[in-house]
Structure 1
Amino acid sequence: MALPVPGSPAASWAVYRQKLITALEGQNPRVLIAFWLFGLINNVLYVIILTSALDLIGPLPKALILLPDILPGFLCKLIAPYFIHHFPYSLRVLICVSLSSTGMLLIAVSPPSHNPVSIAVKLLGIMMASLSSGGGELTFLALTHFYGKGSLAMWSSGTGGAGIVGAGAYALATVTIGMSSRTALLVFATLPAVMFVSFFLILPRDALETSSDLRQRLDSGQDESTEEQEAFLPSHSPSHDDDDEHGISQIDISTALTASASSITPLTSKPLHWTATLHSHLQRARSLFLPYMLPLLLVYISEYTINTALFPVLLFPPHSPRTPFTHLRSHYPTYSTLYQTGVFLSRSSLPFLRIRSLYAPTALQSLNFLVLLLHALYDFLPSFWYVAPIVFWEGLLGGLVYVSTFARIAEEVPRGEREFSLAATSVSDSGGILVSALVSMVLEVAVCEWQVSQGRRWCRMVKPAG
């Protein structure tokens, strides 16, 4: 990947601004707004739950929150792509809104104590929100297939924005304003309504409804006229021109990102038996593993092990020159906000930056994990200000791999397989988070005990907000 030299004409803001204008040129603003809000709301509750982990379960391992926050969504992404196409998008959205709202209310209204009953109720609410987030991600990623260029870019940017909004808003509410965690969670429980408004009122659904009508007629075995089917054929196929001297394809990335509704190509006018369809999907999923799914899986294992096992123990003594904070608990939400800021910036970089190798940033993420783990054990970084940029860099790498993975799928996978491929690959990030949760259950406790044995008792002195 060739990057423009800093300070060169290719690196100027005018060039970047023109690339953004070109990428979004001719797009319906309602589509762009709707997909940005889809990404924002679908992920924001997940981020809020992780950021509030310290306040929800106190001294227990934070992976106890991460595990129910990811496992239902992971199972949904693993299984649902093989049958979810039988359910209309409108029903999927209604289910996601209902599950996420109910789950957040359960978390917020459960007693603030850390007794087993209270924690069980909170975990039930977290699992409902997780199921909604997993179903929402594979739904909206698949939905980008039916809309014009830019929908995937806006979805990715929205998911990155969810990190800043979620982590930043919770830190602002509980650290700066001084709200109780319960009050803050009650306020955030209203956010799923935005997803409802985005789908039913903001998003133009003509393209989706037209495509669904054609699919239903094809599934029922009705023949279509040649003229009608030609209306659903792609008007052109994206070529794979060599990158120009600045690493940007001569064909605009957003043109190749998603197929519009007019790109749906009916492969046959006769329905396939469900076993044949399942076998076809499994074959497609196997071909996605090495180039797309594995690097996404590995980068998420590294970064979420950092977030869950190491953030709670990357502490510095309050009221000292080593940290700007007067309370130990302020470190955790601040790290989350820094990480999510990096994620947002990199997930919003699609119109400007492309990477071909997904494994290089994955290796760098593993290096981040190693450096922060060694610091948690041996305390060699002088202050918070040395940890902060590493956490920010961690977010940049994770977001870059995420958006680049789905951009490459949208570029390289044939149009007829793209909707399934986008949805199926989304299981990789959840799989990585699931593995990291299992590792973190042990690692956080082990690192904390090591720190205490070395005379650094800060991880035992953190007090959650009320």
Structure 2
Amino acid sequence: MISAAHDLLKDDESYANNVTKKYTGKYDCNEISTGAVLLADVLPGLLMKIIFSAYSDKISYNKKFYLIIFTSSLSFLVVSQTPNDIKWLIFTGICSASISTSVGELTFLSLSTLYPTNMAFFPYVIGSGSSGLLSSFFYAGLASYLSPKRAILFMLFVPCIMSLAYFLMPESNSSYLKKSQYSALKLVTSKSEEDLAERNLVPFETMNLSDKFKLAKPLLKYMIPLFIIFYSEYLINQGLYELLYFKNDRFVKDHSSQYRWYNVCFRLGVFVSRLSLKIYPITFLPIFPIFQIINFVILFANVLYGFIPSIFIVFLITFWEGLIGGGCYVNALNLVSIEVPKIYREFSIGVTTIADTIGIALAGFTALPLHDAICRFGM
């Protein structure tokens, strides 16, 4: 949905003529910033993450997965079949995608902690990284030959593949799926009550809401870098990408196409960085936000003053931006999986990922006035 944001904000006449509704000279601005799509794509998911982190022990994995598949399929159907003039219905479809993505992240990362190795989350981050890359690449390619709506409808194959992959899981693991996450944990953890007592650890299932808040406090050292990273990178993606318009570029002429390929380069960087964990894990997380803020400053200055001569330099910067964001995410999860006791790991990973969602949401709120201010500047 993020890759399609610029297309979804055009009206139907713009689709036909390949122009935007409101031309503001230098930037070729849509009336609404793509930050609005970002908000619809993140706020419902943030709410679901907060609720599920507190009460996920009451809901089985299978029920969560049914919700993921239903909301994912619904989002593609609603958005692809709705005329662009009916914005409220399009945003409803995007909200449905938000629920699917956030519940999916929380569910599959939690499932990864049920396996013996600390690196069980690694296939998830590789899978989510590659899916982000492939989906943005396929959409950019399809939208070059089909209408954007048909390209979105084509993406219905994704929830179909997810269903097959999930329910073809080996039978030995299927008993976990019918249980809620912390009762499932009892099936795989080797810690006895005596071991917990020796380490002064309280069994998670006996904790109240206040205890869970105390358990979350030490996670701030992972959450703050994640928050800054995701805030700055999505402020770039949804506040600046659509304004980084090279009117006379010979290779990618269409404004919407340029936006799509920025997203592809970003997703490629995310994918490569997630692969790097096996090669060179990084424990000093604050280095990532510093680099990402520098990326924002460079691209923001270029939006205002246009000193970057080629779109391919911007492609390289967006690739680097993806490397930084993906690197922070995967290394933060790696540190949680190493440093947090196994009985608290499911909860801790779920809470840690709330930080990136809050950062994305605030980036969406910031992108709206930023977009309007820059567009007025370029008139």
The two structures have a TM-score, normalised by structure 1, of 0.71
Q: Residues 56-96 of structure 1: CA distance to partner in whole angstroms, max 9, x if unpaired?
A: 11222111111110000111112211101111111110111
Are residue 172 (structure 1) and residue 103 (structure 2) matched?
Answer: no
Alignment match, 2:150: 183
2: CA distance between counterparts of 1:173 and 1:393?
Answer: 25
Amino acid at match of 2:216: A
Q: Residues 265-298 of structure 1: CA distance to partner in whole angstroms, max 9, x if unpaired?
A: x965x963xxx42111111112211x10010000
Are residue 206 (structure 1) and residue 173 (structure 2) matched?
Answer: yes
Contact between 2:60 and 2:180, CA under 8 Å: does it hold in 1?
Answer: no
1: CA distance between counterparts of 2:89 and 2:79?
Answer: 7
Which residue, out of 296, 300, 306, partners 1:373?
A: 300
Alignment match, 2:22: none
- Structure 1 counterpart SS, 2:64: helix
- Structure 2 counterpart SS, 1:354: coil
Which residue, out of 268, 278, 298, partners 1:351?
A: 278
CA drift at 1:181:
1.1
**What does 1:50-199 correspond to in 2, within 5 Å?**
50-58=2-10, 59=30, 60-111=32-83, 113-114=84-85, 118-149=86-117, 150-175=119-144, 178-199=145-166
Query: Which deviates the most, 202-211 or 365-374?
Result: 202-211
2: CA distance between counterparts of 1:187 and 1:334?
Answer: 19
Return closer, same or farther for 1:203/1:132 CA change in 2, 3 Å cut-off. farther
Contact between 2:69 and 2:163, CA under 8 Å: does it hold in 1?
Answer: yes
1: CA distance between counterparts of 2:264 and 2:171?
Answer: 33
Gaps of 5+ in 2: 11-29, 196-200
Which residue, out of 380, 383, 389, partners 2:310?
A: 383
Contact between 1:51 and 1:167, CA under 8 Å: does it hold in 2?
Answer: yes
Contact between 1:100 and 1:129, CA under 8 Å: does it hold in 2?
Answer: yes
Q: Residues 96-130 of structure 1: CA distance to partner in whole angstroms, max 9, x if unpaired?
A: 1111111221111112x32xxx1111111111111
- Structure 2 counterpart SS, 1:75: helix
Return closer, same or farther for 1:372/1:208 CA change in 2, 3 Å cut-off. farther
Amino acid at match of 1:185: I
CA drift at 1:328:
2.5
Contact between 2:292 and 2:321, CA under 8 Å: does it hold in 1?
Answer: yes
CA drift at 1:448:
2.2
Q: Residues 104-160 of structure 1: CA distance to partner in whole angstroms, max 9, x if unpaired?
A: 21111112x32xxx1111111111111111111111111111124343111111111
Return closer, same or farther for 1:84/1:350 CA change in 2, 3 Å cut-off. same
**What does 1:285-304 correspond to in 2, within 5 Å?**
285-289=216-220, 291-304=221-234
- Structure 2 counterpart SS, 1:151: coil
Query: Which deviates the most, 148-157 or 162-171?
Result: 148-157
Are residue 424 (structure 1) and residue 351 (structure 2) matched?
Answer: yes
Contact between 1:146 and 1:208, CA under 8 Å: does it hold in 2?
Answer: no
- Structure 2 counterpart SS, 1:350: helix
1: CA distance between counterparts of 2:305 and 2:182?
Answer: 60
The two structures have a TM-score, normalised by structure 2, of 0.87
CA drift at 1:202:
2.9
Return closer, same or farther for 1:271/1:124 CA change in 2, 3 Å cut-off. closer
Q: Residues 164-206 of structure 1: CA distance to partner in whole angstroms, max 9, x if unpaired?
A: 111101110012xx10111111111231122221221135553
2: CA distance between counterparts of 1:186 and 1:382?
Answer: 36
2: CA distance between counterparts of 1:215 and 1:339?
Answer: 35
Amino acid at match of 1:233: K
**What does 1:249-398 correspond to in 2, within 5 Å?**
272=206, 276-289=207-220, 291-318=221-248, 320=249, 323-398=250-325
Gaps of 5+ in 1: 1-48, 220-227, 238-265, 453-466
Contact between 1:66 and 1:437, CA under 8 Å: does it hold in 2?
Answer: yes
Share of identical aligned residues, percent?
A: 30
Amino acid at match of 2:247: P
2: CA distance between counterparts of 1:299 and 1:215?
Answer: 30
- Structure 2 counterpart SS, 1:127: helix
Contact between 1:146 and 1:207, CA under 8 Å: does it hold in 2?
Answer: no
CA drift at 1:451:
2.4
Contact between 2:57 and 2:182, CA under 8 Å: does it hold in 1?
Answer: no
CA drift at 1:212:
4.8
Contact between 1:96 and 1:133, CA under 8 Å: does it hold in 2?
Answer: yes
Contact between 1:160 and 1:348, CA under 8 Å: does it hold in 2?
Answer: no
Are residue 232 (structure 1) and residue 190 (structure 2) matched?
Answer: yes
Task: Report how many residues are paired.
Answer: 351
Q: Which has the larger radius of gyration?
A: 1
Return closer, same or farther for 1:64/1:296 CA change in 2, 3 Å cut-off. same
Amino acid at match of 1:298: I
